[in-house]
Structure 1
């Protein structure tokens, strides 16, 4: 569980940095591009992958993840602009449904009674924790964005699990290739914005991107390590990570950003904690 806790901490830190980016007018796409460059450098420093391994890695799975990572971030940003952060966040969290179904039907995991109970409590917790009165009005067509957020985040989770199970090539080499692909995609999009829309590349965005990259690297690395350490229980990693982010993210939001939390939200946070306990217990007891 230590890898899950470390992944949760890094994930929430990334979310906090992105939230602060808006406050201080940081250009998110520029920061994201430098974030992937930082992840590439860290991958090389810590993993020292062989050139032969890196050139042998590119596959349909690694290429798909590399393209989807920056793409889903831009889709999420578009969703926030069109229908608001509340509904977009709900779509992201409910995407847990996709990897949970994959755990059952793709990875062949057996669900105990405790685990099923934990998942039911967990999905209820997601809805209650993220419930807010949204003031953002949106056209019917705008709801394509949260649908894409729901599908995108869910599919990426499943892809990372499949990558973690691949024993033929070190996953550290796969991660470096994924970061390289994501960097190229982000650089291409940024190039269009700089050349066509005349947006300046600024040093502050580079600095923020380096900091963001350190924690994003940690988030993905520990998430992969958790899946490898708990290979027979992917739903535990999917659910515990999601619930943990909700709990820690809510606490940080209340303390640092003075976010208003309703009674329903507090009940949701408590239920998320209960869900993690049930899912953790299901590792030891089959009911």
Structure 2
């Protein structure tokens, strides 16, 4: 449970970093790419074993970091586009509700069993995520724009399910740091290709604030994945319970941090979501 708590804390620090980007006028895309470079470096620094390109190239899980790295950048841009077209709440709900996908996959692929009370807790968790994420009076999505949140939902779910698969089938305890590091490394590489294409039309400008923002984001970003993998490895709870607790706790803690640090105001629906999140955590974790 300690690793799960640390994963939630790391993910909450990511939320704080993004909030501070607005305060200090940091360009998110460039900070994101810098953050992936930093996260990659942190992983290799923590890895005890020798790092050999030829050895890593022959790892059975190599395709994992490559695909996840590309997905990280693609989903980030889809989230940004969704927020612009349909609103921040739509993007947030689509991302967080994706926890349903790894939960279902855990049951179907790995034969995990959930008690009736845990199933109720997971359903409540989905409702809690929806209510806590709404920052507008209502969510409306134009039919033409429906594809964007759907892709964000599916993409986020595929990322979590892929992490679950590689932890379950391929990774040893010793390989977790270098696997996490390579995910961020390929995300950085994909990001550099992306901004390289953009640079054809718009020249790049190196900004110290963007680099510092990327460093502040990169460290907790690495540990959010690292501790999540460790939590899955512990085997105390099923992966369905782990993903539910992780996502719901992040929503709940981030919401409370928003109130305390950034003076955010919550609607009655938001508070209902927080209370439901607490209830769902109790049901999933204790039963």
What is the correspondence of 1:178-217 to structure 2 with a 5 Å cutoff? 178-217=183-222
Q: TM-score, normalised by structure 1?
A: 0.91
* SS of the residue 2:121 aligns to: helix
Unaligned ranges ≥5, structure 1: 283-287
Which residue number in structure 2 is paired with residue 272 of structure 1?
277
Unaligned ranges ≥5, structure 2: none
What is the correspondence of 1:2-151 to structure 2 with a 5 Å cutoff? 2-50=2-50, 51=52, 52-57=54-59, 59-134=62-137, 139-151=142-154
Alignment partners' CA distance in 2, 1:63 and 1:188 = 14
Greater CA deviation, 194-203 or 70-79? 194-203
Matched-pair contact (CA < 8 Å) for 1:35–1:213:
yes
The CA deviation at 1:137 is 7.2
Cα gap change, 1:251/1:198 in structure 2, threshold over 3 Å: closer, same or farther? same
The CA deviation at 1:48 is 3.5
Cα gap change, 1:231/1:171 in structure 2, threshold over 3 Å: closer, same or farther? farther
* SS of the residue 1:259 aligns to: coil
Matched-pair contact (CA < 8 Å) for 2:89–2:139:
no
The CA deviation at 1:231 is 7.3
Matched-pair contact (CA < 8 Å) for 1:86–1:134:
no
What is the correspondence of 1:166-245 to structure 2 with a 5 Å cutoff? 166-167=169-170, 170-230=175-235, 233-245=238-250
* Count of residues in correspondence between the two structures: 282
Which residue number in structure 2 is paired with residue 285 of structure 1?
none
The CA deviation at 1:72 is 0.9
Query: How far does the alpha carbon of each residue in 1:248-272 deviate from its partner, in whole angstroms, 9 at most, with x for none?
Result: 0110111222222122221211110
Matched-pair contact (CA < 8 Å) for 2:96–2:247:
yes
Matched-pair contact (CA < 8 Å) for 1:12–1:249:
yes
Matched-pair contact (CA < 8 Å) for 1:194–1:201:
no
Q: TM-score, normalised by structure 2?
A: 0.91
Greater CA deviation, 166-175 or 156-165? 166-175
Alignment partners' CA distance in 2, 1:138 and 1:119 = 25
Cα gap change, 1:137/1:185 in structure 2, threshold over 3 Å: closer, same or farther? same
The CA deviation at 1:59 is 3.2
The CA deviation at 1:149 is 0.9
Greater CA deviation, 15-24 or 52-61? 52-61
Alignment partners' CA distance in 1, 2:191 and 2:236 = 31
Query: How far does the alpha carbon of each residue in 1:57-106 deviate from its partner, in whole angstroms, 9 at most, with x for none?
Result: 36333321111112111111111111111111111111111111111111
